[in-house]
A and B are shown apart, each in its own frame.
Chain A
Amino acid sequence: MSAPLLELEKVTIQFGGLTAVCDLDMCVGERELIGLIGPNGAGKTTAFNMITGVYQPTSGSIRFCQKPTAGVKPYILSLRGISRTFQNIRLFAQMTVLDNVRTAMQGNRAQRVRDALLRGRTFREVEARVANEAMELLKIFGLDHFHDSMGKSLPYGDQRRLEIVRALAAKPKLLLLDEPAAGMNPTEKQQLMELIRFVQDKFQIAVLLVEHDMKVVMGICQRIHVLDYGRKIAEGTPAEIRANPKVIAAYLGTEEPDA
Chain B
Amino acid sequence: MRGKEKLFLLLAVVAAVGVSMASSLFNRYYLGVAVDVGINVILAVSLNLINGHTGQFSLGHAGFMAVGGYLAAKLTLVFGPHLPPAVQPFLFAGALLVGGVSAALAGLAVGVPTLRLRGDYLAIVTLGFGEIIRVIFQTSEPFGAATGLTGIAKLTNFGWAWGLAAVTVYVVACLVNSTYGRGFIAVHDDEIAASAMGINPVRYKVTAFVVGAFFAGIAGGLYAHQKAVISPGGFDFLKSIEIVVMVILGGMGRTVGVILAAVILTILPELLRGVAEYRMIIYSLLIIGLMLTRPQGLFTFGKKRAA
Contacts and interface: CB of A to CB of B under 8 A. Distances in A.
Interface of A: 52, 54, 73-75, 78-79, 83-84, 86, 90-96, 99, 102-108, 111-113, 115-117, 119, 123-124, 126-127, 130-131, 166-167, 170
Contacts of A94: 185, 188-189, 253, 304
A83 B195 CA distance: 10
B287 interface: no
Interface stretch (B30-38, B130-138, B197-205): B197-205
Give the size category of B's interface with A.
35 or more
Contact of B190 (A78, A90, A108, A127): A90
Considering the complex of A and B, which 7 residue pairs feature the smallest CB-CB distances, nearest first? A116-B178, A90-B193, A106-B198, A92-B189, A78-B198, A104-B197, A103-B182
B179 A111 contact: yes
Contact of B5 (A92, A106, A119): A119
Given A95-B189, A131-B307, A170 B198 contact: yes
Given A94-B189, A116-B174, A117-B171, A103 B3 contact: no
A66 B168 CA distance: 46
Interface string B154-196: 0000000000000000010011011111110110111011111
A96 B253 CA distance: 14
Contacts of B174: 116-117, 119
Nearest to A108: B179
A108 B179 CA distance: 9
Given A113-B180, A131-B307, A166 B197 contact: yes
Interface of B: 2-3, 5-6, 171, 174-175, 177-183, 185-186, 188-190, 192-201, 207, 253, 304-307
Given A78-B197, A91-B193, A119-B5, A99 B306 contact: yes
B305 A115 contact: no
Nearest to B192: A90
B45 to A, nearest CB: 15
Contacts of B183: 103, 106
19 contacts: A52-B196, A75-B200, A78-B195, A83-B196, A86-B196, A90-B192, A92-B185, A92-B194, A94-B188, A95-B189, A99-B185, A99-B306, A102-B179, A111-B178, A116-B178, A119-B174, A126-B179, A127-B178, A170-B198
Nearest to B180: A111
Contacts of A52: 196
A102 B192 CA distance: 17
B197 A170 contact: yes
Contacts of B180: 106, 111-113, 115-116
B196 A78 contact: yes
Contact of A92 (B181, B186, B195, B307): B186
A45 B197 CA distance: 18
B2 A124 contact: yes
Nearest to B181: A116
Contacts of B5: 119
Nearest to A90: B193
Nearest to B253: A94
B199 A103 contact: yes
Contacts of A124: 2
Contacts of B181: 116
Which residue of A54, A113, A123 has the most chain B CB atoms within 10 A of its CB atom?
A113
A94 B207 CA distance: 20
Contacts of A92: 185-186, 189-190, 193-194
B175 A116 contact: yes
B196 A74 contact: yes
Contacts of B177: 116
A117 B167 CA distance: 11
A103 B304 CA distance: 14
B58 to A, nearest CB: 19
Given A52-B196, A103-B179, 10 more contacts: A74-B195, A78-B198, A92-B190, A96-B305, A102-B182, A106-B199, A117-B175, A127-B179, A131-B307, A167-B196
A30 B211 CA distance: 42
A46 to B, nearest CB: 14
Nearest to B3: A119
B91 to A, nearest CB: 26
Nearest to A85: B196
A100 B142 CA distance: 51
